Each structure stands twice: as C-alpha cells, then as structure tokens.
Amino acid sequence: MKIGDLAREIGVSVRLLRYHEEQGLLASHRSASGHHHYTAEAPTVVGHIRVPLAECLPTGTICDILPCIEGPGPDIHHPCVQNRLQTHLEDIETRITTLQRSRTSLTDLLTATENFRTSSS
C-alpha cells in the first residue's frame, strides 16, 4: 500500500505518517522508484499509535510499548506495558509537583510585588 493510500484509508496526513516513520513507530519499505510502501497491517499499527498519542504519551514511550499493544481496539492492558506506563505516570506526577511549586512561588512573588506597589503609593 502506498503512503497516500494509507493516509486516505485511515484519515491522517502523509506528513503524519512520515513523522511516525521518523520516530520509529511505523515501518515501510521503499520501491525502486523511492515510494513508501506499507504492509496490510499498517492501518492497525497506526491505530495502535494514535491511542497512546491521544493520551499525550511521548513517541519514545509509544515506541517502547507498541510491541505490546494488541488487537484492533487496541488493547493496551497487556502486562508488558505496565512498568513503562507507571514510569511515565511518575514523571508526570513529578512535573505536576514542580509546576505547582512554581505556581505558588510566582503567586507569592506577584503578591509581594502588589503589596510593595500598594505601600509605595
């Protein structure tokens, strides 16, 4: 299947398919004329990629868990993804904590600035 045909079949852009290839998420082979060709399973694979992307998982994480995703659904309840997803969740929790601290610090700074401005007037 050619890249344009795949893009039309699954409703994504050719550019997105090329990006998936660059990230190591989708494999193709090139014809002698340089055209990308995909296997019959490519629409299912792209479906498997789109679900974790919609959950804001980075492509590196998706690349790690993609071999564990099964079915047309896809089913990402496979045990081999648990550790990678748990690590990603912990990273998110750490970033949230850091952002909350930053928000508190910035709020305190703004309050102090407002108080200084009010007392200086």
| CATH label of the domain that carries residue 115 | 1.10.1660.10
pLDDT, position 74 = 64
pTM: 0.70
Query: What distance in Å separates the CA atoms of residue 24 and residue 18, rounded to the nearest whole number?
Result: 10
Residue 11 in tokens: 């409703």
pLDDT of amino acid 98: 97
Rounded to whole angstroms, the Cα distance separating 107 from 77 reads 40
Cα 16 from Cα 108, distance rounded (Å): 43
Residue-level pLDDT at 25: 94
Which residues are paired to 109 by β-bridges? none
**Number of domains, the chain:** 1
Q: Kindly give the confidence (pLDDT) of every residue in the chain, 121 residues in length, as a single tens digit, with 9 standing for 90 and above.
A: 999 999 999 999 999 999 999 999 999 998 888 888 999 999 999 988 988 888 888 898 899 888 888 777 666 767 778 888 888 899 999 999 999 999 999 999 999 998 887 777 6
What was the pLDDT predicted at 77?
Answer: 67
> Which residue range forms the structural domain that includes residue 92?
3-120
